[in-house]
Amino acid sequence: MKKILLVMVCAMFANFLNAHCGGCGTSNKTETKMKKAILLVTFGTSEKSARVSFENIEKLAKKRFPNMEIRWAYTAKFIRKKLKKEGIILDSPILALSKLANEGYESVIVQSLHTIPGSEFDELSKTVAMFKHQKDNIADIKIGKPLLANYANLDRVVDLMLQSAPKERTKDEGLVFMGHGTHHYANLIYVAFQALLNDKDVNAFIGTVEGNPTLDDIIKKCKTNNIKKVYLIPFMSVAGDHAKNDMASDEDDSWKSILKKEGILAIPILKGTAENDKIVDVWLDNCEKAMNSNHSH
Ligand code: CO
């Protein structure tokens, strides 16, 4: 907390200096073009191969919002630390926003790249609120909602996930999506996801690593439906550590191995949701919605 405060104070002080000295001698009025930015915020990943997801989001964001500066922030401190050792510098949301404020950005959309509005989104909302209350900071700061922000998004994403199934899949083969899951009450969204999936495809299931539904729930359903083969697909923005190790690896406790022990052949597909352009569109639609709204929530 001390560190955060220090950064905030530094940012505000630097801003103060900018505001008071920048005007001396030169007229600020000539600066007509408003500086606008989008700050893309994700948990982060240290997996090199998983970064294709973020590269795809950046490419599509630049295409859709060509006049805006696109920046990144990672919320996971241990990932930022790990990347720093490799010479890759990524800021926390607070530091990234402080820099934008310092550089005179007047309009910033903080776009959550989370899947659900869980605890990380709560934290991010607090950070944005903190900046909002500094009137001399970024004049217009808004937050864009995560992927599954409402029912319409949920319905759309369920369809897109079903469409992402491999073409060779037959109807009696299952689809198993691996979500992250959380102890936060927003975990209920995964339960709603399963209900919608079931309406559209009785052999499609979602389970989570840290919440409900669980892999056990899926195994029961596979047995009821007499499913002998499934495709394992991550329902996370990146095919990172969870997808590679907890889902697809040959380790005893991976989903692939557990399913195998239950007599179900599992074929993993290592592709994050952010590699799917149509899913990225949902995030970017949320971003545009935030941009065009008069409210900041
Ligand atoms: Co995790």
**pLDDT (tens digit per residue) in 93-118:** 999 999 999 999 999 999 999 999 99
Q: Cβ contacts of residue 271 below 8 Å, gap of 6+?
A: 164, 233, 234, 239
Is the link from the previous residue into 268 a cis peptide, with omega within 30 of 0?
no
* Cα Rg of the chain (Å, integer): 21
Give me the pLDDT at residue 32, please: 58
Active site residue: 133, 180, 184, 297, which one?
180
181 CA → ligand 1 middle, Å: 8
- Give 10-residue mean pLDDT values along the chain (297 residues): 50 44 41 85 90 95 97 96 94 96 95 98 96 84 97 98 97 97 98 98 98 98 98 96 96 98 98 97 98 74
List C-alpha distances in Å: 9 to 130, 137, 140, 198, 253.
12, 11, 19, 51, 47
228 CA → ligand 1 middle, Å: 28
Give me the pLDDT at residue 160, please: 98
Give me the pLDDT at residue 13, please: 46
Identify the helix (H) or strand (E) that includes residue 40: strand 36-42
Cα(101)–Cα(20) distance, rounded to whole angstroms?
A: 14
Give me the pLDDT at residue 165, please: 96
230 CA → ligand 1 middle, Å: 23
Q: What is the 3-state secondary structure (H, E, C) of 202-225?
A: CCEEEEECCCCCCHHHHHHHHHHC
Give me the pLDDT at residue 196, please: 98
Q: Which of 276, 219, 263, 272 is nearest to 244 (CA)?
A: 272
pTM, full prediction: 0.88
102 CA → ligand 1 middle, Å: 33
pLDDT tens profile 129-153: 999 988 668 999 999 999 999 999 9
Q: Which of 223, 226, 232 is nearest to 267 (CA)?
A: 232
Residue 45, Cβ density class (10 Å: 0-12 exposed, 13-18 middle, ≥19 buried): buried
Give me the pLDDT at residue 286, please: 98
Give me the pLDDT at residue 167, please: 96
The CA-CA-CA angle for residues 35, 93, 103, to 5°, reads 30
> Is-catalytic flag, 114?
no
Please check whether residue 45 is in contact with residue 79, taking contact to mean a CB–CB distance below 8 angstroms: yes
197 CA → ligand 1 middle, Å: 23
Give me the pLDDT at residue 185, please: 98
